[in-house]
Amino acid sequence: MSKPRLVILHRNMGLLGGAQRDLIVALPEHAKRWSITVATLNAPQLLLDRCEQLGIDVIAPDVPWQLPTGPIAEVTARAGRSALKAWRRLRTKLQPALDAADACYIVLSTGGMEVLDIIPNNRPLYVYIHERDKGIYDDVLQRDMDGQLRYPLFVKNLALTYLRRWDQRWHKRLWKRPQSAVSANTPTSSRLLASSHGWPTSKDWIAGEVKFRDEQQRPAEVGVLWPAIDPSAWPVEVSEEERKAWDAFAHKPTSPYLLTIGRAGFMKGSKEAIQVASAASLPLVHVGGGEVEEMRHQAKKLNAELLVMPRIDEMEIVALMRNAHALIATARTEGFGLTPMEAAMVGTPALVVSDCGFTHTVTDGFNGRRLPWPNTQEGLDQWVMAVEQAGEEKNRMAWSEAGRERILQRFTANHQAEGLARSLTAMGVKVETTELEMLPGLDPA
- What is the reported pLDDT for 258? 98
pLDDT in tens, 366-385: 999 999 999 999 999 999 99
In this structure, the answer to whether residues 398 and 357 fall within a common structural domain is: yes
Give the domain extent around 176: 5-228+412-425
Flag whether 96 is in a domain.
Answer: yes
Q: Is the dihedral of CA 25, 28, 30, 31 positive or negative?
A: positive
In this structure, the answer to whether residues 198 and 305 fall within a common structural domain is: no
Flag whether 445 is in a domain.
Answer: no
In this structure, the answer to whether residues 251 and 381 fall within a common structural domain is: yes
CA distance 2 to 427: 19
Beta-carbon count within 10 A of 215 CB:
7
How would DSSP label each residue in 253-298?
A: -SS--EEEES-BSTTTTHHHHHHHHHHHT--EEEES-BSHHHHHHH
In this structure, the answer to whether residues 214 and 348 fall within a common structural domain is: no
Task: State which residues of the chain have pLDDT below 70.
Answer: 1, 153-155
200 SS3 class: coil
CA distance 158 to 151: 11
Give Cβ neighbours of residue 130 (< 8 Å, ≥ 6 apart): 18, 19, 22, 107, 108, 109, 184, 185, 189, 227, 335, 336
Phi then psi dihedrals of residue 216, to 5 deg: -85, 5
Helix axes 270-280, 292-301, angle to 10 degrees: 40
CA distance 227 to 130: 8
In this structure, the answer to whether residues 124 and 40 fall within a common structural domain is: yes
Q: Are 228 and 420 in contact (CB under 8 A)?
A: no
Flag whether 63 is in a domain.
Answer: yes
CA distance 239 to 220: 47
CA distance 100 to 55: 17
In this structure, the answer to whether residues 188 and 322 fall within a common structural domain is: no
Cα angle, residue 132 at apex, residues 129 and 135 outer, rounded to 5°:
135
| Structural domains counted in the chain | 2
Flag whether 295 is in a domain.
Answer: yes
pLDDT in tens, 135-190: 788 888 889 999 998 877 666 777 788 889 999 999 999 999 999 999 999 999 99
CA distance 139 to 156: 9
Flag whether 443 is in a domain.
Answer: no
- What is the reported pLDDT for 283? 98
Flag whether 297 is in a domain.
Answer: yes
Q: Given 3-state DSSP classes, what are the helix, strand and coil percentages for the chain, each rounded to the nearest 5?
A: 45, 15, 40
In this structure, the answer to whether residues 136 and 253 fall within a common structural domain is: no
Side chain identity at residue 191, one-letter code: R
CA distance 199 to 219: 9
Rounded to two decimals, the pTM is 0.95
169 SS3 class: helix
In this structure, the answer to whether residues 139 and 238 fall within a common structural domain is: no
- What is the reported pLDDT for 318? 97
Question: The domain that contains 255 carries what CATH number?
Answer: 3.40.50.2000
What are the counts of helices (DSSP H) followed by strands (DSSP E) for the chain?
Answer: 16, 13
pLDDT in tens, 29-76: 999 999 999 999 999 999 999 999 999 999 999 999 999 988 788 778
- What is the reported pLDDT for 151? 77
In this structure, the answer to whether residues 235 and 200 fall within a common structural domain is: no
In this structure, the answer to whether residues 170 and 238 fall within a common structural domain is: no
- What is the reported pLDDT for 1? 66
In this structure, the answer to whether residues 107 and 35 fall within a common structural domain is: yes
Sheet of strand 326-329: strand arrangement? 306-308, 284-287, 258-261, 326-329, 350-353, 369-371
Side chain identity at residue 308, one-letter code: V
Q: Are 121 and 177 in contact (CB under 8 A)?
A: yes
Flag whether 358 is in a domain.
Answer: yes
Flag whether 435 is in a domain.
Answer: no
Direct distance between the N- and C-terminal alpha carbons of the chain, in angstroms, rounded to an integer:
41
In this structure, the answer to whether residues 179 and 244 fall within a common structural domain is: no
- What is the reported pLDDT for 110? 78
